[in-house]
Amino acid sequence: MTTVGEPDRVVPDVGRPWPRGAARHYRRDPLGFVEESARARGPVFRLPDDGSLCVADPAEAQRVLHDEAGDHDDVSGFFHVGGGLLGPRATQVAIGRAARATLRAHVAAHRERLPAVVAELGEVSRWPSAGRAAVHRFLAGALLRPDSSPALRELMAHVVRREVLIRPSGRLARMSRRALWARVVRTIATEVRHRRPEPRPGDLLDAVITATPPETPAEHVAQVYLLLFRTSVAPVGHVVAWALLSAAADGVDLAEVPAGSAVRESLRLWPVAWLLGRPVRRAHQVAGVPLEPGESVSVCPYLLHRDERHWPQAARFRPGRWDGSEPRGPYLPFGGGPFTCAGAAVAQTLATDLLAALTDAARLEVRPGPGRPHVEGIITPPPFLLRRTASQT
């Protein structure tokens, strides 16, 4: 096992079997489980559900993510569609670039609308759903152009209202979500077929259509669009929600710190990509652990960002650490290496602008409610109320 005094030496404790019920514990509380496992077994250990090798050692994590030896699959697992992955890698890159350009242009052109979007939340709003709604309202024209089918535009608004962007935990909720998701895919696929004869630059759906080969099934285009829609809306709303909640918990007045620093610190504590899976393509070793094709490695930014050796007072929300006055450790809130999220810079910019609009000339009061973070793909904050009132000048 690695000791704190030997940060550069990783001796994995992967041979010891997990006790009975470990997989159930991991599924119920993945964040707590990996924290406990790192303390007990060191920064490299097997996950109990699928045997994936979890890596929270900075040097080993960078080697895995940059993969200069080509030991892992070179197709992003993000692009899951019916029947497998949408590829090749060149198509994935083209989609990412087109989507990023569309969203970046919208944010730059419509930034002045954010105060009005914030005002529509009212004096009291319920988060994190309010954050997702605000992001969707602001990005609406980039996500679907105004001349899109009214039925489709209403359906996507319904997706946001029903919180279908967040994977539910209950069986009945999952069934309901799958049924609605299938309906949405069918409706978007119809729109794809309508637009394909005369493609033109416009919204996020146009970006996906123009970046995919013309023979790509319309349903696959629809599924990729939905993935991008979800990752354009939910993570940004959650980053802002975590900043509000974390600042309240640690007594930080967000009006007194740069919004960009608060967003960076929110992303450190609650990274959008908390666990980064990489399928093994050929036999090799990570931290001395032999791996074979068919296995997987999972780099854990959540643990890397909370390593006290690199982040003093790692569990606290301290935006001041981003002013350059103290050393910082590895920072991978949107992934790392060639598969870093294509929209990371746009998402961070929008989150910063939204948080700045919330704190401008206003006093914020956060009222936490019961509940714990929900982890299913991304880390969703527990519900809380935000009271926003005009500050006394």
Q: Residue 376: pLDDT above 80?
A: no
Give the C-alpha separation, 290 to 33, whole Å. Answer: 23
Contacts 24+ apart (CB under 8 A), 279-285: 279/72, 279/73, 279/77, 280/71, 280/72, 280/73, 281/70, 281/71, 281/72, 281/73, 281/74, 282/70, 282/71, 284/69, 284/71
Q: Residue 7: pLDDT above 50?
A: no
pLDDT of residue 1: 35
pLDDT digit string, tens, across residues 46-85? 999 989 999 999 999 999 999 999 999 876 767 778 767 7
First vs last Cα of the chain: how many Å apart?
A: 56
The pair of three-digit structure tokens given for residue 205, joined into one six-digit string: 């759906």
Q: Residue 6: pLDDT above 60?
A: no
Q: Average model confidence (pLDDT) for the chain?
A: 89
Domain that holds residue 216: 22-390
Query: Would you say residue 200 lies in a domain?
Result: yes
Query: Would you say residue 3 lies in a domain?
Result: no
230, 241 contact by CB (below 8 A): no
The pair of three-digit structure tokens given for residue 159, joined into one six-digit string: 């997706």
Question: Would you place residue 11 in the very low, low, confident or very high pLDDT band (cuts 50, 70, 90)?
Answer: low
The pair of three-digit structure tokens given for residue 266, joined into one six-digit string: 């929110």
Eight-state DSSP code of residue 280:
B
Question: How many CB atoms lie under 10 A from the CB of residue 381?
Answer: 25
Work out how many domains the chain is built from and give that number. Answer: 1
Contacts 24+ apart (CB under 8 A), 251-254: 252/317, 252/318, 252/319, 254/355, 254/358, 254/359, 254/364
pLDDT over 90, % of the chain:
72
pLDDT of residue 168: 54
> Please, what is the Cα angle at 366 between 365 and 368, to 5 degrees?
155
Average pLDDT over residues 142-149: 93
Query: Would you say residue 171 lies in a domain?
Result: yes
Q: Residue 247: pLDDT above 70?
A: yes
pLDDT of residue 161: 81
Q: Provide the H-helix boundaries in 252-343.
A: 259-269, 301-304
pLDDT of residue 200: 80
Indicate the pairing of strand 53-55 with strand 44-46: antiparallel
pLDDT of residue 4: 39
Average pLDDT over residues 17-26: 92
pLDDT of residue 130: 96
Question: Would you place residue 21 in the very low, low, confident or very high pLDDT band (cuts 50, 70, 90)?
Answer: very high
Average pLDDT over residues 231-258: 96
Q: Provide the H-helix boundaries in the chain.
A: 22-28, 30-41, 58-66, 89-110, 114-119, 129-143, 150-161, 171-195, 204-211, 218-249, 259-269, 301-304, 344-359
| Choice between 390 and 305, residue whose per-residue pLDDT is larger | 305
Query: Would you say residue 101 lies in a domain?
Result: yes
pLDDT of residue 382: 94
Average pLDDT over residues 284-308: 95
Average pLDDT over residues 345-370: 95
Average pLDDT over residues 382-386: 96
Eight-state DSSP code of residue 363:
E
pLDDT of residue 371: 84
Q: Residue 169: pLDDT above 80?
A: no
pLDDT of residue 173: 60
Average pLDDT over residues 131-156: 94
Range name among 35-39, 180-184, 339-343, 379-383 with the lowest pLDDT average: 339-343
Average pLDDT over residues 309-321: 94
| Choice between 391 and 295, residue whose per-residue pLDDT is larger | 295
Query: Would you say residue 60 lies in a domain?
Result: yes
381, 373 contact by CB (below 8 A): yes
Average pLDDT over residues 167-187: 74
CATH number of the CATH domain containing 192: 1.10.630.10
pLDDT of residue 205: 96
Range name among 84-88, 130-134, 220-224, 377-381 with the lowest pLDDT average: 84-88
pLDDT of residue 166: 63
Query: Would you say residue 383 lies in a domain?
Result: yes
164, 183 contact by CB (below 8 A): no
Residues with Cβ within 8 Å of residue 197, at least 6 apart in sequence = none
Average pLDDT over residues 124-139: 96
Query: Would you say residue 11 lies in a domain?
Result: no
pLDDT of residue 297: 95
Give the C-alpha separation, 311 to 294, whole Å. Answer: 34
280, 268 contact by CB (below 8 A): no
Average pLDDT over residues 186-203: 91
Query: Would you say residue 217 lies in a domain?
Result: yes
Is 359 exposed, middle or buried, given 0-12, 13-18 or 19+ CB atoms closer than 10 A? Answer: buried
